Amino acid sequence: MKQYDVVIVGGGFTGLTAAYCLAKAGKTVRVLEADGSPGGLAGTFEFSDGVKLEKFYHHWFNNDVYVPELVKELGMEGDVITLPSRTGMYFNGRMWKLSTPLDLLRFSALPFVDRIRLGLLVLQVRRVKDWRTIEHLSIREWLEPLCGRTVYRVVWEPLINSKFSIFAEAVNAVWFWKKLVLRGGTRNKKGGEELAYFKGGFGRLAEALVAAIENLGGEVSLGERVTGPNTQSGKIVSVSTSAGEVAGKEFLFTPSFPVIADILQSTGNAEWIEKLRRVKYLGNMCLVLRLKKSLSDTYWINVNDPGFPFVGVIEHTNFDSPENYKGSRIAFLSRYLAVEDPVWSYSDEEYLKFALKHLHRMFPAFDESWILDYRVWRAEHAQPVTERDYSAYVPDSTTPFANATISTMAQIYPEDRGTNYAIREGRKVGQQLLQRLSVS
């Protein structure tokens, strides 16, 4: 059996970036990905006529560093598009534009003094220099005294409830603090937000990364699920997969903690396995609609009206051109929920019907005849839940095995998950593995 220098479980951007760094350094590397396409949560699919896009909506911010660096290294910097975004809010039965400071001043759903408080919030948030000082607080406990109860109730509470479902009151303030700090840094000179996108989607970038790995002698196996390890003397010697055994000197695990716990459950390290399972996750159901007509002229609509099941309606073709989708319009409807929620088990057809009755309320002119096609995608571990004092209990990169390392999206804290940070962590763990190989 061939022994690779490094076997990587998971073909998301962390695993692929680590593999790329290792292959560039001349190491033999094998990536094992259970899905049929690379990219993890940034993976893609095709409609029947070949139109390809992400299963879940994606962009990156103009102040992100690691995605552009990788794109440039792959010689594809000409494929990055930076555009102003149009954002809005659906509240109290109507749409509100919230792309610029002037839009905020016109947001009459809040009294004028509360509009000012909302506008000044980013400045107040930036005064927090050490996130550890607010980690013991929930988002509500920290944010409500800063912006006031009315602003919190109208603007933030509905979004936090939609984002974190049953965990809304448990998530710590650091998650929200980091979001506001990052988004506040994406504004252009006029106060508008600018976002970036990769031509052809993030899946095309993942495919380019796979090609680069393979050109360097590495291997990427898609549709190959890892089922368990084979251990000896405190080390993993190989992993069992749906296609056979794969042996290695070092092993890197990049899926979510529950998936890693399932893979390594048989090793008998019950206390450590329990630590992995301590971190909670929410699932995401994403309805992708391909339409004849546009729903609105807004890219990202936050849904703040109680009773609506979506955290956002993202009309992708108000950002990327409809010409790239054969003239059709693309909209993502995103819902975060616990997998125990009955909605999680809806069939695709049931979920479409469930979603459309709410979509009609938001867009009265919408007609089902506009729908050319649709898909429903589910990610069971879409969002790690960072509860109070998260840093005290989140597992680190070490494992009970001397030659096995973990690097997952739940460990990039205080940042939240995202392709930019997945690439950062992939480079970081790749360098760590190179150092370990050099002394082994």
Domains, the chain, in order of start with CATH, read: 3-58+201-279+393-439 (3.50.50.60), 99-182 (no CATH), 281-384 (3.90.660.20)
Report the pLDDT averaged over residues 384-412. 97
Alpha-carbon distance of 119 to 106, in angstroms, equals 12
**Tell me, what's the pLDDT at 189?**
58
**Tell me, what's the pLDDT at 184?**
61
Residue 329 has pLDDT above 90, yes or no: yes
**Tell me, what's the pLDDT at 81?**
84
Give residues with Cβ within 8 angstroms of 292, minimum separation 6. 328, 329, 369, 370, 371, 372
With a threshold of 0.75, does the pTM exceed it? yes
**Tell me, what's the pLDDT at 250?**
98
Describe the crossing of helices 139-147 and 157-164 by its angle, rounded to 10 degrees: 160
pLDDT tens digits for range 81-107: 888 888 899 998 889 988 788 888 999
Both structure tokens of 141: 């406990």
Q: How many percent of the chain have pLDDT more than 70?
A: 98
**Tell me, what's the pLDDT at 399?**
96
pLDDT tens digits for range 398-411: 999 999 999 999 99
CA nearest to 79, candidates 195, 196, 194, 198:
198
pLDDT tens digits for range 156-214: 999 999 999 999 999 999 999 998 887 665 555 555 678 889 888 889 999 999 999 99
Report the pLDDT averaged over residues 66-80. 93
**Tell me, what's the pLDDT at 181?**
83
Average per-residue pLDDT for the chain: 93
